Amino acid sequence: MRPVSVWQWSPWGLLLCLLCSSCLGSPSPSTGPEKKAGSQGLRFRLAGFPRKPYEGRVEIQRAGEWGTICDDDFTLQAAHVLCRELGFTEATGWTHSAKYGPGTGRIWLDNLSCSGTEQSVTECASRGWGNSDCTHDEDAGVICKDQRLPGFSDSNVIEACVRLKGGAHPGEGRVEVLKASTWGTVCDRKWDLHAASVVCRELGFGSAREALSGARMGQGMGAIHLSEVRCSGQELSLWKCPHKNITAEDCSHSQDAGVRCNLPYTGAETRIRLSGGRSQHEGRVEVQIGGPGPLRWGLICGDDWGTLEAMVACRQLGLGYANHGLQETWYWDSGNITEVVMSGVRCTGTELSLDQCAHHGTHITCKRTETRFTAGVICSETASDLLLHSALVQETAYIEDRPLHMLYCAAEENCLASSARSANWPYGHRRLLRFSSQIHNLGRADFRPKAGRHSWVWHECHGHYHSMDIFTHYDILTPNGTKVAEGHKASFCLEDTECQEDVSKRYECANFGEQGITVGCWDLYRHDIDCQWIDITDVKPGNYILQVVINPNFEVAESDFTNNAMKCNCKYDGHRIWVHNCHIGDAFSEEANRRFERYPGQTSNQII
């Protein structure tokens, strides 16, 4: 028994949710052969932050109540059993002392002792359910091997059913809930602090500081799942509060609800600072390092430093999103700190602080160690957020056999597969998969190309300027991810094709106009314009995944990159193509994503 912690709640709920099978109590239909895990009546989930989908604090639901496991006597053998309960083949490690943040509620198991071969955690020895003298500071976690048990049924592995999107700071964002394996938003009608506090607590944060209405954290896309949620504040989940089922007519995404949760002080922002910038929102990044000897400040090597790393630095500083991650900072005054103390930093973009990102150890490897080549950031309270209208891709996809004599301009712009070069021009044709792309900016800042107009490239053939080298990737992939065809990579001309009612257009390509996409507007590339296709002439019949990724190199800052990819199942029989299940990368539950990747092209609902 260790001292009771002052904080009984955890600040780590940001991305609690991953393996959700159902939020409404009933397990969703599972696919494939079922392997029944042994623990009938128990449910398992991985929780906490920061973590990967296969690691985290282990939580068990028993008699409707979620709880944790104390680390006393915990071993790798127990971790093996728990990882199998969670649908993974085995454990590669385990953690103690609430490595992923302390949980809340019951501590279900203490002095858990397993041999490692048990089918179920119920076969392991322990002090008995709920019998523990630990605090949540001793919560155990597991690191499972990133390999799923074959045919494992997820019906007893569940996760929290709420997430926050689009917030500039940890513990804030647009509220999204999971229903029928799809994420959707909450309408702000009757939205108040009680409901917001239920969300914050469900995510492990404690109470809410603010209940936000009117899409203050940006608009979602797709479903709206709940409206008129009325909570007393004591409920364990938003779904337990009385609410209305709504339809698209009842509410719009301009009414999406959001929250700001109270966060305990972690001191992370004191371990990093900016120097040399023109304002407090920009500068060279200085980090504090301890280790042997006294604490000291140092710089970060600029090699490979990019938008994702800058996002984490800005978040850690409490300065919101990153506008830019800079590899060269010579134009900023150099302070008296010149030593490079961190190199090889690689973040996924969701970390709360730089020390959670991968980086080289104490041995610094940096190509250019001068102060002017060290990492810098420009932070911003707002950012754009691009999303592709996935339903439109599905509705508009078709095959065209286009004669080569109509493709000279396209060939010049590199819009055909390489085998087109050896074709017998102008005779014959190319087989093209065509579809419309409608790209919305649902963020809180306009999307602007990184390059200034002086460096835009004039494309004679199509008669407009290209402002970004690579704005989208269009690819056809096999189910195992091998690329078999790709669309053109050159940039488009970015403009506001249309806007929501109350928003006016600002960007227009014609006449060397300013390029960009205004918040609340979209840029449409119709299926019938040149290069808006994937050349599939060389693709053999089979099942594939059609993937579109916007801003793939994170060249321009966005508040959220997890929604930049769109995927569809795609079945090609050599003559026709069926495109279905089109969805944005973060729209499905993990379980539905696995189903999507396991069974590409099994059902078909669109014939082209």
Ligand X SMILES: *[C@@H]1O[C@H](CO)[C@@H](O)[C@H](O)[C@H]1NC(C)=O
Give me the residues that bind ligand X (CB under 6 A), please. 72-73, 111, 127, 244-245, 336, 478, 480, 482
Q: Which is nearer to ligand X, 92 or 334 (CB)?
A: 334
Distance of CA 598 to the CA centre of its chain: 21
Pairing assessment for the beta strands 106-109 and 65-69 based on DSSP bridges: parallel
CA 550 from chain centre, in angstroms, equals 14
CB of 480 vs ligand X, minimal distance in Å: 4
The CB-of-564 to ligand X minimum distance in angstroms stands at 24
Q: Using omega within 30 degrees of 0 as the cis cutoff, is the peptide bond preceding 264 cis?
A: no
Phi-psi region of 180 (alpha: psi -120 to 50; beta: other; left: phi over 0): left
CB of 353 to ligand X, least distance (A): 23
Min dist CB 453 to ligand X, Å, is 39
Q: Which is nearer to ligand X, 112 or 217 (CB)?
A: 112
DSSP string, 191-212: --HHHHHHHHHHTT--SEEEEE
Q: Smallest distance, Å, CB 589 to ligand X?
A: 17
Contact 167, 217 (CB under 8 A): yes
- For ligand X, which is the closer residue by CB, 40 or 336? 336
d(CA 190, CA 328): 49
Comparing CA positions, the residue from 559, 597, 602 lying closest to residue 167 is: 559
Quote the least distance from Cβ 111 to ligand X, whole Å: 4
Q: How far is the CB of 252 from ligand X (least distance, A)?
A: 20
Token representation of residue 265: 């002080």
Q: Is-contact 217 320, C-beta < 8 A?
A: no
Which residue number, 261 or 476, has a Cβ lying nearer to ligand X?
Answer: 476
Distance CA 520, CA 215 (A): 12
The whole-angstrom separation of Cα 205 and Cα 225 is 23
CB neighbours of 339 closer than 8 A, spacing ≥ 6?
296, 298, 299
Yes or no: say if 340 and 396 are a contact pair by the CB < 8 Å rule: no
Q: Would you say 286 or 560 has its CB closer to ligand X?
A: 286
Closer by beta carbon to ligand X, 70 or else 310: 70
**E-assigned strand segments in 348-392:** 376-380, 386-388
Q: Which of 336/418 has CB closer to ligand X?
A: 336
Is the CB of 336 or the CB of 424 nearer to ligand X?
A: 336
Mapped onto helix, strand or coil, the DSSP state of residue 561 is coil
Report the residue number, 362 or 480, with the smaller CB distance to ligand X: 480
Minimal distance in Å, beta carbon 502 to ligand X?
Answer: 31
Q: How far is the CB of 449 from ligand X (least distance, A)?
A: 35
